[in-house]
Structure 1
Amino acid sequence: MATSKKALCVGINNFKNYPSAALQGCVNDAHDMSALLQKLLGFQGSDITVLTDAQATKATIISNLKAMVDGAKAGKYSYLVFSLSSHGTQVPDLSGDEPDRADEAFCPHDLAQAGGQWDANHVILDDELRDLFIQLPANVLLEVYLDTCHSGTGLKAIDMLLDRTPRYLPPPSLEAFEEVESKRSRGLRHGMLEKGMVHNILWAGCRADQTSADAKIGGSWHGAFTYYFCKEMNACKNSLSRADLLTKVRADLKKGKYSQIPQLECEATKRKVQIG
């Protein structure tokens, strides 16, 4: 019976081909999540891979995730955690099954474009993550934390303050932007937690129509969602249910004048229990 844990924590502040898109809190997020897993959730340092900046190419991220899934399928792991802090973006629905939709995507360090669109070899689609995670056995728990955003439509003036940056990159050309702008975002729930993945858990830093903030809090930069999630987990020492924890994190963000509303997608029974 599998008893081991495995985690991948990714944080990307700098993007090889887009230096002007740099963020400041994503690397801190990756280290904060790694520390939290070790302090409160029974992970050993050897159970956790942390990838930051130049380490966090698409190929390396996907390779690590595949190794985690393969290990779980072989019975080595019963609990997997994947955290990602970076820019989100959008691409036209590449599968073609929902032509009125746009797919959510994630920006690795080596993000690049091919013509007017993002290069599929250098952007991570939510469909790709779903296709990978759907292979997990039903007795393996996967918990995913995504401190990104996938739409610029929710931008407000407060999101553009000097101590806040939205974690969103628009498509790389006017044509590509117009192709997704008129389409509806599916939302990460539909992209990653479709039928067959109900036993998994997804935390998202904001709703599909909102932005997640890269923010200066307490003198250093963090993802606003990750910062308050770690703050409340440390305060309660993992004694709260996921639902109660979500309530506290949402309240912290509201008090801090952040418009984003974190989302928790999982079975109702898993909302009522502690993490891990």
Structure 2
Amino acid sequence: MTGKRALCVGINNFKYFPSAALRGCVNDANDMENLLKILFEFQSDNIVKLTDAKATKANIMKNLQEMLVGAKSGKYSHLVFTMSSHGTQVPDLSGDESDRVDEAFCPYDLKEKQDEWDPEHIIVDDELRDMFIQLPDEIVLEVFLDTCHSGTGLKAIDLIWDRQTRYIPPPSLEAFKRVDGKRQRGLNKALLEKGMRQHILWAACRADQTSADANIDGDWHGAFTYYFCKEMKASQNKLTRNEILEKVREDLKEADYTQIPQLECEATVRNWNMD
């Protein structure tokens, strides 16, 4: 079993929220697609790329489900899912833990229902967890999330340097009150608690930080994705994941970004190269 499969998602524009438009997410999807082809020998027909209007919740979940079915049948041994978009928060929908909010990811068709996000048009971390925990133990799953799930403020210096946060708040004051101040467990913790041994999650920032959509070298990118791709290409996959993480953190710090990328996986996996 040696097959590889990837889904790369990038959403700049949102059907019902034109004012929430981003500028670097489609470039992120293109950059990750190219990286997978150049360094990791992914074939074009094993990468699905969904951008803007193609990246509805239904389409994203359908493609993830197809990856899951292929892995369970023995067709794939390495899955990659990358998503660049807005993040947001919703009240804990599963009720599995008190005083908690769920992280959520915004598809193109993000939509309100009454004063909350419509569950049919938003992707909640519990949904991804419930899907990914079905994977056989031997499957390598690598997830890259260049989003953020905190509304902590955009700094004045970010405005000077053409930077925008990848966070969209809950759609009403009442919805905001229901999540404000509550703690987030996050997709990474949820998966680790379920005992997934080869799950690898890259997050562009800590749960209490924002991820930048930024003008870098004359074009727009997610700051994390840009520096991750830069360091991967420079190293030609000769560094471990942990070494790449440290280099990306250094790059972001030198460029005056406050976000600190996170790598969640077992200790042994951190020292693997990204084969």
Tell me the CA shift for residue 158 of structure 1.
3.3
Tell me if structure 2 keeps the 8 A contact 1:163–1:215.
yes
Aligned 1:79-94 pairs, distance under 5 A: 79-94=78-93
Tell me the CA shift for residue 198 of structure 1.
3.0
* SS of the residue 2:27 aligns to: helix
Tell me the CA shift for residue 123 of structure 1.
0.2
- Corresponding position of 2:131: 132
Tell me if structure 1 keeps the 8 A contact 2:191–2:199.
no
Tell me the CA shift for residue 145 of structure 1.
0.2
- Corresponding position of 1:267: 266
Tell me the CA shift for residue 98 of structure 1.
1.6
- Corresponding position of 1:156: 155
| Counterparts of 1:223 and 1:30, CA distance in 2 | 10
- Corresponding position of 2:182: 183
Aligned 1:163-202 pairs, distance under 5 A: 163-202=162-201
- Corresponding position of 2:76: 77
Q: Which moved more, 1:91-100 or 1:51-60?
A: 91-100
Aligned 1:29-108 pairs, distance under 5 A: 29-108=28-107
| Counterparts of 1:154 and 1:134, CA distance in 2 | 34
How many positions carry a matched residue from both structures? 275
Tell me the CA shift for residue 197 of structure 1.
1.9
Counterparts in 2 of 1:152 and 1:11: CA distance versus 1, 3 Å: same
* SS of the residue 2:138 aligns to: coil
Tell me the CA shift for residue 154 of structure 1.
5.4
Tell me if structure 1 keeps the 8 A contact 2:3–2:76.
yes
- Structure 2 stretches of 5 or more lacking a match? none
Q: C-alpha deviations, 1:165-206, integer Å up to 9, x for none?
A: 000000000000011003112233224433232321000000
- Structure 1 stretches of 5 or more lacking a match? none
Aligned 1:8-47 pairs, distance under 5 A: 8-47=7-46
Counterparts in 2 of 1:232 and 1:164: CA distance versus 1, 3 Å: same
* SS of the residue 2:220 aligns to: strand
Q: C-alpha deviations, 1:228-275, integer Å up to 9, x for none?
A: 000000001111000000000000000010000000000111111101
Give the alignment's TM-score, normalised by structure 1.
0.97
* SS of the residue 1:95 aligns to: coil
| Counterparts of 2:81 and 2:74, CA distance in 1 | 18
* SS of the residue 2:131 aligns to: helix
Q: Which moved more, 1:154-163 or 1:11-20?
A: 154-163
| Counterparts of 2:35 and 2:208, CA distance in 1 | 29
Tell me the CA shift for residue 162 of structure 1.
5.2
* SS of the residue 1:84 aligns to: strand
| Counterparts of 1:261 and 1:170, CA distance in 2 | 21
Counterparts in 2 of 1:137 and 1:260: CA distance versus 1, 3 Å: same
- Corresponding position of 1:6: 5
* SS of the residue 2:164 aligns to: strand
Tell me if structure 2 keeps the 8 A contact 1:159–1:166.
no
- Please report the RMSD computed on the Cα atoms of aligned residues, expressed in angstroms: 1.1
Q: C-alpha deviations, 1:113-139, integer Å up to 9, x for none?
A: 100000000000000000000000011
Aligned residues with identical type, % of pairs? 67
Tell me if structure 1 keeps the 8 A contact 2:89–2:179.
yes
Q: C-alpha deviations, 1:69-110, integer Å up to 9, x for none?
A: 000000000000000000000000011122201100000000
Write the letter of the residue equivalent to 2:242. A
Q: C-alpha deviations, 1:21-75, integer Å up to 9, x for none?
A: 0000000000000000000001011110000000000000000000000000000
Tell me if structure 2 keeps the 8 A contact 1:79–1:141.
yes
